[in-house]
Amino acid sequence: MKLSPALPLLFLLSACTFPLEALPTATPNITQAYETIAAEIKTRQPPIIQTTRTDEPVKSNLPTENTPTLLPATQSPPCNRITPGIPFDVTIPDNTLVAPGEVFYKTWRLINSGSCPWTKEYMLVLFSGEPISKESRYYLEEAVNPGQSIDITIEMTAPEKPGTYQSNWMLTDPDGKAFGIGPAGNAAFWVRIIVPAYTQPAPTPTNTFILSPSILSSGTIQLQDGAGLLLSNLTIVLPGNADLYYQQGSILPGNKVEFSSSLGGMPEYATCLAMGKTGSFISINDEIKYHYFCFIDPNGHIGWLQVLGETPSAVDLEILTWDK
């Protein structure tokens, strides 16, 4: 029997009609998928390179616009306060020799370093110590604003008894409150003098009357550096022939002239006669300006000289010589 060519095809078609069992579908694991992706990303990241920056800003302690600045608190000076001037002791520096009973004038230079003006109701008062002044309280003669200075001068008299005397002073405001110098403004300032012991001359007979000597010469004179002077007639001469001469800021004795220590006030003849004298020189400085020095010249004349001032090359003197 001969098969028809269509049979194989029919066989194949009939075979396709058998039912096929479906393949199972896999359920995706979400956690596992994320881990897989993360691992993939990690393996693809470029390596990290460590670098050091050189363009970082320099640290500063200066305040910025947004940083508040704390300003120091300003403290006002106290109302009443004194600062010593320069010089403080314009006259009569400490331990000045003053003859017994001699009248002298003490001057302080005070600066108002407080915040309140000193009116004419402020007073200079004797705070403690020796009462050697003419008065114990003095009103200021002029007002002194803060920052200004004033020279206060009062009259004093040296005691008759030899010794060291100190008189302490302060200022008081119109309410009577005392104030002075020092960090706390409660320290007094003072005048301190030394009254030397003099050898009293022997008493003269009662029937003998001695006249005070007349003045031989007196006047002011300027000595240039290297110039000399005769005291009896105030004649300028060469240093080798001079009773005194001026050299490099000092007054030097010549012809066996002798000087006493300094005096704050003009001495009388008896004072200069009694004072001890030596051949030492006088060194000129601000402290001895307007002070007096007694002398004895080669002829036994007694006198005094006063230093009025000094320039870089000269000195101004006032001189008086008594006749004997």
In percent, how much of the chain has pLDDT > 70? 72
Cα distances from 73 to residues 27, 67, 113, in angstroms, run 80, 19, 20
The pLDDT assigned to 43 comes to: 53
Q: Let me know if residue 10 belongs to a domain.
A: no
Mark whether 100 and 191 lie in a shared domain: yes
Mode of pairing for the β-strands spanning 189-195 and 96-97: parallel
Mark whether 165 and 100 lie in a shared domain: yes
Q: Let me know if residue 23 belongs to a domain.
A: no
pLDDT, one tens digit per residue, over 92-101 is 999 999 999 9
Q: Let me know if residue 173 belongs to a domain.
A: yes
pLDDT of 4 over the 60 cut: no
The pLDDT assigned to 197 comes to: 82
Mark whether 186 and 221 lie in a shared domain: no
Span 280-294, mean pLDDT?
Answer: 85
Mark whether 235 and 301 lie in a shared domain: yes
Mode of pairing for the β-strands spanning 178-179 and 82-89: unpaired
The pLDDT assigned to 209 comes to: 44
pLDDT, one tens digit per residue, over 49-89 is 444 444 444 444 444 444 444 445 456 789 999 999 999 99
Mark whether 87 and 186 lie in a shared domain: yes
Mark whether 109 and 178 lie in a shared domain: yes
Bridge partners of 262, per DSSP, are 293
Mark whether 246 and 304 lie in a shared domain: yes
Range of the domain at 155: 82-195
The pLDDT assigned to 126 comes to: 94
pLDDT, one tens digit per residue, over 194-218 is 999 865 555 554 444 445 689 888 8
The pLDDT assigned to 59 comes to: 43
Domains: count for the chain: 2
87 in Cβ contact with 61 (< 8 Å): no
Mean pLDDT of the chain: 79
The pLDDT assigned to 6 comes to: 46
Q: Which two tokens stand for residue 202?
A: 């022997």
Question: Can you say how many angstroms the Cα of residue 41 is from the centroid of all Cα atoms in its chain?
Answer: 79
Which band of pLDDT confidence, cut at 50, 70 and 90, is reported for residue 265?
Answer: confident
162: amino acid identity, one letter = P
Mark whether 135 and 238 lie in a shared domain: no
pLDDT of 183 over the 50 cut: yes
- Listing DSSP states for 14-81 in one string gives HHTTS--PPPPPPPP-HHHHHHHHHHHHHHHSPPP-----S-PPPP--S--TTSPP-PPPP-PPPSS-
Mark whether 220 and 174 lie in a shared domain: no
Distance CA 103, CA 158 (A): 6
Span 259-280, mean pLDDT?
Answer: 87
**CATH classification of the domain holding 158:** 2.60.40.10
Span 94-114, mean pLDDT?
Answer: 94
Mark whether 183 and 222 lie in a shared domain: no
Q: Let me know if residue 227 belongs to a domain.
A: yes
The order of strands in the sheet holding 103-112 is 82-89, 103-112, 149-157
